[in-house]
Amino acid sequence: MTPRRSEDELVFAPLGGVGEIGMNLSLYGYRTKRARSWIAVDFGVSFAGEDLPGVDVILPDISFLIAERKNLGAIFLTHAHEDHFGALIDLWPRLRVPVYATPFAAALLEAKRLAEPNAPEIAVTVVQTGARIVVGPFDVEYVAVAHSIPEAHALIIRTKVGAVLHTGDWKLDPTPVIGPPTDEARLKALGEEGCLALIGDSTNAVRDGRSPSERDVSRTLAELIASARARVAVTTFASNVARIHAVAAAARACGREVIVVGRAMQRMVQVARETGHLDGVQEFHDAEMFHSLPAHAIVALCTGSQGEPRAALARIAQDKHPDVALARGDRVILSCRTIPGNEKAVARIVNGLVGQGIEVVSDRTHLVHVSGHPRRAEMRELYQWVRPRIAIPVHGEALHLAEHAALARGEGVGEVVLCGNGDVVRLAAGASGIVDEVPAGRWYKDGRLLLDAKASTVGERRRLAVGGIISAAIVLDEKGSLAGEIEMAMMGIPEQNAAGEVIDALVRRTIAVTLNHLPRARRHDPDTVAEALRRAVRAAVAAEWGKKPVCIVHVSTC
């Protein structure tokens, strides 16, 4: 499709997934003199680290989309990884627009919905590879790509002013275990048609060469499982159905049974079977069967590849799992990569297993994991196929984006735009570049609630974690003197200072002395008294401890 001269404008506006890996949400906007239309691609989450106590996941702030809801035509999902579709259940009720997804993504979304109390029914239209969906001024085509989950797709987004390739997550794997390889013919055809812009994955833009094939990992897993003398446990991303398939094939080849340990893995296996991605694979057993089989006949597929404390492998490493226990001489295969930020949690599991005499095998020594993202040679090949006029790196941190931009320029792309979440990038008509910005930020999922990241809640929890809390309550008589004992509670506070003095006694004395030094006229205002005592207690404890606790003082009168 050759772009034609027009006053219509096509823009790209990411609300998440740029300058970070995770929380992907991209907008495409089309504006004429009379109307403005949007579509969204993906609705992902990222995961909270130890710096966000109490936060379960991080979601993109969709305030802009809520305001533009009447102009939002649809949400298109490229695939079913959490960082691409994990926010839908929480955020879709605020938009209630059509959602398009392939069978596997739709089935997995439904399984997640049924597992969450009071989750909304989401209007999902199931589409197949090669489908073309017209929504307003947009014509969206699903193009198959290889990745580490079934049914991953790139999107060709066509408009009157040009066609855009939104790559999603992809790689060039000529021998995937499940599903077709990346559709080279369709992407080359786009290049012949004319590609206005490529919005592309940058995850592995710093790595030379090509990502190994999933088939190579399958061979390594088969060797490791066949050579094990006792039990074998394998942990991987539950969504990597190809890896599950490879483990099952390896187990069958050496006469072992597969036992699935962990709810997320059980759910993924069920969805994969329902959608045909485990056709011909033997039935698996639940964890209750673990102790009914001899050691040499077991391969356990476990959740917990990222060190999640409540997942199966973490409990096994602590010897606290109700159904599964490993022993000296058993082998655990970490068929995954550690996501940045999870290193300590994974190390705790590894150390727990090694401490029990269990052999741990990882990608440090064996090819037990490959990335689902392209390295530089694969990226160059895609650019040679598609030949876009504009390149916009996404899905990566600052270094990844910069390396992707340099690679695109090296492949002859004349216009390369580096942008951030909230930037509005013009693709056509006119020169490309950042022309506006829209609200973008983060929301935190905290239990059943969604909180703005700017709210004080998480910051207060950090302060509680560092400095503890002191709560005191006093009653004053009509003269402003203490009418009874000071009621006090302390949490997270050391019992004694360096000299051995009890801090409880120090706080009580500070309250009494501070109250006595307050002018009697000020003692009749409970708020004034409470603030004076709060400041005094905080300062006194900080002087002895070197840390400032959270202090709450309640003052009442009789």
Residue 447's pLDDT band (cuts 50, 70, 90): confident
Span of 32-36, 86-90, 142-146 with lowest mean pLDDT: 32-36
Span of 157-171, 446-460, 462-476 with lowest mean pLDDT: 446-460
So what's the pLDDT on residue 470?
95
Domain boundary among 452, 483, 513: 452
156 in the same domain as 43: yes
Q: How far is CA 171 from the centre of its chain?
A: 20
Domain boundary among 308, 336, 361: 361
Structural domain range at position 268? 214-361
Query: Which residue is listed with tokens 């999933």?
Result: 214
pLDDT digit string, tens, across residues 402-441: 999 999 999 999 999 999 999 999 999 888 999 999 999 9
170 in the same domain as 31: yes
Does residue 280 fall inside a structural domain?
yes
So what's the pLDDT on residue 520?
86
Residue 50's pLDDT band (cuts 50, 70, 90): confident
Does residue 276 fall inside a structural domain?
yes
76 in the same domain as 32: yes
pLDDT digit string, tens, across residues 128-141: 999 999 999 999 99
Is pLDDT above 60 for 4? no
Is pLDDT above 50 for 280? yes
pLDDT digit string, tens, across residues 356-375: 999 999 999 999 999 999 99
> Taking residues 305-319, what's their average pLDDT?
94
285 in the same domain as 263: yes
Residue 502's pLDDT band (cuts 50, 70, 90): very high
pLDDT digit string, tens, across residues 332-349: 999 999 987 789 999 999
309 in the same domain as 227: yes
| Contacting residues for 346 by C-beta, under 8 A, at least 6 apart | 305, 306, 307, 334, 338
CATH code for the domain in which residue 275 is found: 3.40.50.10710
Is pLDDT above 60 for 6? no
User: For residues 26 and 140, what is the distance between their CA atoms, to the nearest angstrom?
Assistant: 14
Does residue 524 fall inside a structural domain?
yes
Q: How far is CA 316 from the centre of its chain?
A: 24
Structure tokens at 319: 């010897």
So what's the pLDDT on residue 469?
95
Per the structure, the count of domains in the chain is 3
408 in the same domain as 478: no
pLDDT digit string, tens, across residues 536-557: 999 999 999 999 999 999 999 8
- What are the distances in angstroms from CA 380 to CA 125, 318, 390, 407? 34, 46, 15, 7
User: For residues 414 and 124, what is the distance between their CA atoms, to the nearest angstrom?
Assistant: 38
CATH code for the domain in which residue 540 is found: 3.10.20.580
So what's the pLDDT on residue 235?
97
CATH code for the domain in which residue 384 is found: 3.60.15.10
Residue 9's pLDDT band (cuts 50, 70, 90): very high
So what's the pLDDT on residue 51?
78
230 in the same domain as 269: yes
Collapse the DSSP code of 225 into the 3-class scheme (helix H, G, I; strand E, B; otherwise coil) and give the result.
helix
Is pLDDT above 80 for 3? no
Domain boundary among 333, 361, 389: 361
242 in the same domain as 195: no
Residue 395's pLDDT band (cuts 50, 70, 90): very high
